[in-house]
Amino acid sequence: MDIDDYYRCLQYDFFLSKFDLTRISHLNLYMGNLGVKKGLSMQMNIRKLSILLIWMLALAGPRLISCRQEAETPPVATGPVVDSVASADGVMIHYEVVGEGEPTLVFVHGWSCDRSYWKAQVDEFARTYQVVTVDMGGHGESGLGREDWTLAAFGADVAAVVNKLNPDKVVMIGHSMAGGVNIQAAQQLPGRVIGLIGVDTYQDFEMAYSPEEVADITAPFRADFVTSVDGFVRSMFPENPDSALVDQIATDMSTAPPEVAISAMENYISGNAVEILKEVRVPIRAINSDKWPTNLETNRKHAASFEMKLMPGTGHFVMLEDPATFNRLLHETLDELTGKSGAPVDKE
C-alpha cells in the first residue's frame, strides 16, 4: 500500500464511521422533526442530503471493503530471490533470500540435506526478518569439485553468502552438522554474528571420535551407501513417527553424492569445536530433541552462555517433525538473543 492509498483508506474509514446507514436514519429522523418546527423546505433539503449520502456510500463501498481487506491482511514476505556466489575455493554456492528485517537469519541444513529442509520456517520468519537459506557445497543446487569436504570449507560457503548480502547483524541457525559449520562461519565473519542457534546439535562440544572409530562408523556407508543412509536416517526418529516424513527424508538423503557425504561425515565426527570456540565468542543456543542427552556442564565450559530448549518426543529432524513447536521455540530464542524478550542480551 503506497502513501496515497494509505490516506485514501483513512478518509474512507472516517467516512464510513461517521455516515453509516444507521446514523443517516437517526439524522433523518432528527432533522425531519426539526423540519416540522422550522418548515417543510428545510425537511426536503435534509431528505435530499440523506439521499446524497446514501448514493456516496454506494459508490465508496467497494473501495471501503478493499481498504479494510488491506488493513487486515498480515505482512507478506518479499521474495524469494535465488542467487549464487563463489565460495573461497571457487565452488558455486546457491542460496535463497526471502523477507526483510534485522537481524538476518541464515538457515543452514545438515548432512546430506539441502535448503528445502527449512520449508516450514521460511514464510513464518520472513514476516519479521530477512531469511536466507543456503545449499552448502556438494548439496542441493550448489557445485561439486571439492576434494575434501571439511567443516571449514562448508563454513566458507556460508560466509561467502553472508559477505555478498552484507547484512549488519546475523543469527545463524544450523541443523545437525551445520551447528559445527556455523561455528566455522562465525570465525570467518568477525563482528557480524550476534548468535548461533543449533538445531538438534551441540550435544557435547568435546565429543570427537578416534580414527579407528571413524573408520568403523563410515565403513557401512562405503560398502552400500544407499542402504546404510536409509537405515541411519530411520534410526533417528522416535517411536511411531510420521511414516511419510520418514520415507521422504530417508529417500532424499540416500540420493546424496556418496563422495561428498562420506568425506563430510569423516570430517564432522573426527573433530570438535573446543579450539575454535576460544575465538568465536558469541551467545550459543540449541533447540534439541530429547532422544539424545545434551551435556550442559561441558558445553558451558566452552560457551558460558550456552542454553538449550528441549522438544520431547521428537527425533533428529525437529523442525520438520513438529514445526509449530519448533517455530515457537525459535521465536523465543531469537527474542532472547536480540533483547526483544526484555531479558538482557548475552555477550560471550
Express each pLDDT in 311-330 by its tens digit: 999 999 999 999 999 999 99
282 Cα distance to chain centroid: 20
Structural domain spans, the chain: 3-72, 81-338
Residue 149's pLDDT band, with cuts at 50, 70 and 90, is very high
Between residues 200 and 63, the one the model is more confident about: 200
Residue 76's pLDDT band, with cuts at 50, 70 and 90, is low
At 32 the pLDDT is: 43
* Residue where the block lists cell 563430510: 264
At 347 the pLDDT is: 56
Domain range 81-338, CATH architecture: 3-Layer(aba) Sandwich (3.40)
At 339 the pLDDT is: 87
CA distances, 231 to each of 212, 221, 227 (Å):
22, 10, 6
Average pLDDT over residues 86-106: 97
How far apart are the C-alpha atoms of 315 and 124, rounded to whole Å? 22
Burial 69-80 (b: 16+ CB within 10 A, else e): eeeeeeeebeee
Average pLDDT over residues 266-295: 96
At 148 the pLDDT is: 97
Percentage of the chain exceeding pLDDT 90: 74
Q: Are 122 and 189 in contact (CB under 8 A)?
A: no
Strands 193-199 and 170-175: parallel
Q: Closest Cα to residue 127, out of 145, 149, 105, 147?
A: 105
| Cell numbers standing for residue 37 | 418546527
Q: Closest Cα to residue 186, out of 265, 277, 84?
A: 277
DSSP labels for 205-274? TT----HHHHHHHHHHHHH-HHHHHHHHHHTTS-SS--HHHHHHHHHHHHTS-HHHHHHHHHHHHH--ST
**Worst-scoring range by mean pLDDT, 12-21, 38-47, 230-239?**
12-21
Strands 104-108 and 170-175: parallel
Residue 184's pLDDT band, with cuts at 50, 70 and 90, is very high
